[in-house]
Amino acid sequence: MQSLINVSNRLPVIVADTITPSAGGLVSALEGFHADYDFQWIGWAGATEDDPEMRKRISRELQERFGYTPLFLSQEDVSDFYTGFSNSSLWPLLHYLPSYARFNRRWFDAYINVNGAFAQTVAGRVRTGNVIWIHDYHLMLLPGLLREQRPDLKIGFFFHTPFPSYEIFRCHPNRRELLEGLLGADLIGFHTSDYVRHFRSTVQRVLGLTSEINTIIAESHTVSIGVYPISIPSEKFEAEMESEAYRSHLNDYRRIYEGKKIVLNVERLDYTKGVPRRLDAIERFLIDSGRRDVVFIFISVPSRESVAAYRDLRRDIESKVSKINGELSTIENAPIHFIHQAVEFSQLCALYSLADAAMVTPLIDGMNLVAKEYVICRQNNDGVLILSEFAGAAQELPQAIIVNPYNIEQMAHAIRQALEMPAQEREKRMASMRRRVQRYNAQRWARSFIEDLTSIPEAQRRPAIALSLSPEMLAPLLSQERWALFLDYDGTLAELRRDPDEAYPDPALADLFEALQKRPNLEVYVISGRTRQDMGRWLGDFDFHLVAEHGFYFKHRNAREWVQFESHVDLSWKERVADILVHYADQTPGSFVEEKTASVAWHYRSADPEFGAWKAHQLVIELQEMLSNLPVEINHGSKIVEINSILINKGVLMQHMKTLNRYDRVLCAGDDVTDESMFRAAGERDISIKVGGGETAASYRVASPGALRRLLSNSLEI
Ligand code: GDG
């Protein structure tokens, strides 16, 4: 049996004098799933017990009765990590409500500490290669922390909330750390493709990483991202509806509500669930329709009452309920039956199967299981679901009456439509929704996530590009014979910066340069597309040959002056091309044109990534048509489109120097399309290294400039 460690903020138990299992979205979804896997669950026990003896006793009982491993949080952790960072900062932002979000540096410190404590506990319980499934926004740093300690684990992360658009997520002061933490996972799952799209665009914009439709290329590995709409354990509901308790509740409720229409509302009392606006719509319906035979039952489970916004919400709802009941009750009926507590499972099922309609109208909701639970309990295919278009569930249940929860008139009309819907239409809609929920249930959801996680190939869990060249291989080679090193600068020796002026050599790079200078059998050429001025300013003090503008200018290490490497170059096309690039720069905020002696380049690193890439694609097509008969080449590199003469490139210069100076061997390294000419020019005994991903003619790869620096430094030290 496969072993799986499930990690969530809360264990599904209530620890008081005795320990009882608790209800909730995730618990419901995973229940049917325990039997199939060797399943452990790690999480906070919900208690803030300080007494070590009591902690031991609780741990023992949780382990023995349920196979759970508890974590204990202090009162302060609960206030800063849980109430503060998780529920007052992340939750509102993930639900598109920045006006509810509060930020506090101390909360983030607590979040780091508690995620760290989770990492310790998990690391203490796992065996090599175990599969870890982490749930939800409380633990966004955990994948990264775990990966650092245990790269052998397969780590999945599932977001139960929505993931908002970049414009919202960017508000968070700790957006970078949160995303970097998450990307420690091998697979990140979301309820809908919209959330995936938002996540990708956020990661691209905040971290500048590359992303395909279902992957993100992180430095240490490739992260898969996918859509896994959570569902419910449908057989559990079907079984409950066979029970005696259910039948007895159903009979009671039938008697109590005889002659009345019932509209059911079930939720945690949360500002995302849209209760005040729903009450406005109910009031409008009651006034407009004049009906006094309808009861709106609200099962409103108390939630997060330590957060002020939830207390305010409760007050607001209670006052609306009493106003409506005060104004619209009759002797026979009070329209709103508001129950501010949880009911038993058998009672819930009885209510689901009795209610003529259910209203699920959150302002935003990751999925919403109540919608699916109502559907599964309609065994006769009767009943009507009114569902917010902002619930993830709306994508799977389009046969519901779909409403905009901000549109009071539309919701009021939907209630009327639901209560008056012809039986045939009701059945048709419900049957179709039931088929979906029966087929794609909680077990299917969990299984498809875990199957995808476990089948991620090992190669994907290493750096996107394998570090195939080690210092142990390179060091003995570099210690003998005469070598020339042709090293590109930006993106190869130094990380790409948004502002090219910031890419000057940092101390780590300067150390590498010092070490290279000390080796008499190595001659270094720093070979770049940059201008002579940039190169002279940053690299002039080192004992290196410098090559600027992709080979157009050359400065021997002992010379003071630059020379033009190729004197007869036709540059008549330059002005026309520059005009076009300026036009693109005007149309693409954040991009700019760089004009050099023998080339001209359009940089779009600081432009919006998707818009920039689209404009670059357009530009290349336009230039290809315009320049087809001219001796130029168009290089579309990493966030740059550069046009230069075909007579000049890095490969031509490298070949020339190699022959002229009779080096025994050459090592060349680069990250961009313009470096491919060197890789192609390299001979059999030479070493060519591509930095980063993408197609290449190079024979080796390293993941990043940092990896290349480490490779070279370590090879020189051995
Ligand atoms: C989060 C996301 C996502 C409610 N009242 C009673 C009761 N419940 C059960 C329901 C349902 C669960 O609680 C609520 O699940 P939801 O999905 O509606 O909402 P959240 O708690 O906000 O859950 C959500 C979910 O995670 C899963 O990924 O769908 O979008 O916000 O199962 O039946 N159960 C009992 N008595 C009650 O009074 N027994």
CA distance from start to end of the chain: 47
Ligand 1, pocket-test mutation among 266, 347, 349, most atoms within 8 A of CB: 266
228's tokens: 């896994």
Residue with the smallest CA separation from ligand 1 atom 25 is 25
Q: Would you place residue 206 in the very low, low, confident or very high pLDDT band (cuts 50, 70, 90)? A: very high
Task: Report the SS3 class of residue 28.
Answer: helix
Residue with the smallest CA separation from ligand 1 atom 9 is 24
Architecture of the domain defined by 235-439: 3-Layer(aba) Sandwich (3.40)
Burial degree of 564 (CB within 10 A; 0-12, 13-18, 19+): middle
Residue with the smallest CA separation from ligand 1 atom 13 is 24
Residue found under tokens 């008056």: 420
> Residue 71 has what DSSP assignment?
E
Q: Is the pLDDT of residue 24 over 70?
A: no
CA distance 657 to 500: 28
Residue with the smallest CA separation from ligand 1 atom 4 is 267
CA distance 228 to 139: 19
Contact between 303 and 270 (Cβ < 8 Å): yes
Of 498, 409, 100, the closest CA to residue 270 belongs to 100
Q: How high is the pLDDT of residue 137? A: 98
Residue with the smallest CA separation from ligand 1 atom 37 is 342
Ligand 1 centre from 265 Cα, in Å? 12
Q: How high is the pLDDT of residue 463? A: 65
Question: pLDDT tens for residues 441-492?
Answer: 888 898 899 999 999 988 787 765 555 788 888 999 999 999 999 999 999 9
Q: Among the atoms of ligand 1, which is closest to the Cα of residue 191?
A: 28
* Residue of 80, 488, 534, 675 with catalytic role: 488
What is 574-644's CATH superfamily? Answer: Trehalose-6-phosphate phosphatase related protein; domain 2 (3.30.70.1020)
CA distance 701 to 699: 7
Question: pLDDT tens for residues 526-567?
Answer: 999 999 999 999 899 999 999 999 999 999 999 999 999 887
CA distance 186 to 232: 25
| Torsion-angle region of 549 (φ positive above 0: left; ψ -120 to 50: alpha; else: beta) | left
What residue spans define the domains of the chain? 3-227, 235-439, 471-566+648-715, 574-644
101's tokens: 């979000």
Ligand 1 centre from 526 Cα, in Å? 60
Ligand 1 centre from 442 Cα, in Å? 13
Contact between 83 and 106 (Cβ < 8 Å): no
Mean pLDDT of the region 266-273: 96
Q: Would you place residue 247 in the very low, low, confident or very high pLDDT band (cuts 50, 70, 90)? A: very high
Residues 6+ apart with CB under 8 A from 449: 133, 156, 158, 187, 189, 226, 228
At residue 364's C-alpha, the angle toward residues 362 and 365, to 5°, is 85
Q: How high is the pLDDT of residue 695? A: 78
Q: Would you place residue 28 in the very low, low, confident or very high pLDDT band (cuts 50, 70, 90)? A: low
Q: How high is the pLDDT of residue 23? A: 62
Residue found under tokens 């790269």: 151
Ligand 1 centre from 344 Cα, in Å? 13
Contact between 375 and 386 (Cβ < 8 Å): no
Ligand 1: list residues with CB < 6 Å: 23-26, 28, 160-161, 230, 266, 268, 299, 301, 342-343, 345, 348, 365-370, 373
Q: Is the pLDDT of residue 322 over 80?
A: yes
Query: CATH for 3-227?
Result: 3.40.50.2000
Mean pLDDT of the region 119-142: 94
Beta pairing partners, 133: 6, 156
Nearest-Å Rg of the Cα atoms of the chain is 32
DSSP string, 279-347: HHHHHHHHHHH---SEEEEEEEE---TTSHHHHHHHHHHHHHHHHHHHHH--SS--SEEEE-S---HHH
The rounded percent of the chain whose pLDDT value lies above 90 is 75
Of 510, 604, 523, 598, the closest CA to residue 558 belongs to 523
Ligand 1 centre from 286 Cα, in Å? 28
Q: Is the pLDDT of residue 432 over 60?
A: yes
Q: Would you place residue 31 in the very low, low, confident or very high pLDDT band (cuts 50, 70, 90)? A: low
Q: How high is the pLDDT of residue 444? A: 87
Residue with the smallest CA separation from ligand 1 atom 21 is 25
CA distance 604 to 612: 6
Q: How high is the pLDDT of residue 131? A: 92
Ligand 1, pocket-test mutation among 26, 369, 375, most atoms within 8 A of CB: 369
278 to 234, 241, 369, 386, 406: CA distances (angstroms): 27, 29, 18, 11, 9
Ligand 1 centre from 27 Cα, in Å? 9
Mean pLDDT of the region 215-232: 91
Evaluate if pTM is beyond 0.85: no
Ligand 1 centre from 142 Cα, in Å? 24
Q: How high is the pLDDT of residue 587? A: 93
Q: Among the atoms of ligand 1, which is closest to the Cα of residue 232?
A: 32
Residues 6+ apart with CB under 8 A from 11: 41, 42, 43, 44, 45, 46, 62, 66, 68, 70
Residue with the smallest CA separation from ligand 1 atom 14 is 25
Residue with the smallest CA separation from ligand 1 atom 20 is 25
Mean pLDDT of the region 292-313: 94
Residues 6+ apart with CB under 8 A from 691: 488, 491, 492, 669, 670, 671, 701, 702, 703, 704, 705, 707, 708
Ligand 1, pocket-test mutation among 90, 227, 368, most atoms within 8 A of CB: 368
Task: Report the SS3 class of residue 623.
Answer: helix
Q: Among the atoms of ligand 1, which is closest to the Cα of residue 365?
A: 30
DSSP string, 421-480: --HHHHHHHHHHHHHHHHHS-HHHHHHHHHHHHHTS-GGGGS-SS-----HHHHHHHHTS
Other residues' Cβ atoms within 10 Å of the Cβ of residue 438: 14
Ligand 1, pocket-test mutation among 353, 370, 390, most atoms within 8 A of CB: 370
Q: How high is the pLDDT of residue 467? A: 54
Q: Among the atoms of ligand 1, which is closest to the Cα of residue 341?
A: 38
Q: Is the pLDDT of residue 638 over 90?
A: no
Ligand 1 centre from 355 Cα, in Å? 18
Say what the alpha-carbon torsion angle 263, 268, 271, 275 is, to the nearest 10 degrees. 10
The rounded percent of the chain whose pLDDT value lies above 70 is 98
Mean pLDDT of the region 594-612: 91
Q: Among the atoms of ligand 1, which is closest to the Cα of residue 273?
A: 22
Q: Is the pLDDT of residue 141 over 90?
A: yes
Q: Would you place residue 129 in the very low, low, confident or very high pLDDT band (cuts 50, 70, 90)? A: confident
Residue with the smallest CA separation from ligand 1 atom 27 is 25
Write out the CATH class of domain 471-566+648-715.
Answer: alpha beta
Helix-, strand-, coil-residue percentages of the chain, each rounded to 5: 45, 20, 35
* More confident of the two residues 322 and 441: 322
Same topology between domain 235-439 and domain 574-644 = no
Residue with the smallest CA separation from ligand 1 atom 28 is 160
> Residue 497 has what DSSP assignment?
-
Of 526, 464, 462, the closest CA to residue 704 belongs to 464
User: What is the distance, to the nearest Å, from the Cα of residue 463 to the centroid of all Cα atoms in its chain?
Assistant: 18
Contacts 24+ apart (CB under 8 A), 96-101: 96/162, 96/164, 96/168, 96/363, 96/364, 97/271, 97/272, 97/363, 97/364, 98/168, 98/171, 100/271, 100/309, 101/171, 101/172
Q: How high is the pLDDT of residue 443? A: 83
User: What is the distance, to the nearest Å, from the Cα of residue 435 to the centroid of all Cα atoms in its chain?
Assistant: 31
Ligand 1, pocket-test mutation among 26, 31, 230, 367, most atoms within 8 A of CB: 367
Q: Among the atoms of ligand 1, which is closest to the Cα of residue 366?
A: 30
Q: Is 586 a catalytic residue?
A: no
Ligand 1 centre from 384 Cα, in Å? 19
Ligand 1 centre from 409 Cα, in Å? 27
Residue 690 belongs to what H/E stretch?
A: strand 687-691
Mean pLDDT of the region 114-123: 96
Q: Among the atoms of ligand 1, which is closest to the Cα of residue 393?
A: 29
CA distance 715 to 470: 8
Contact between 85 and 71 (Cβ < 8 Å): no
- Average pLDDT value over all residues in the chain: 92
Backbone φ and ψ of 66, nearest 5°: -125, -10
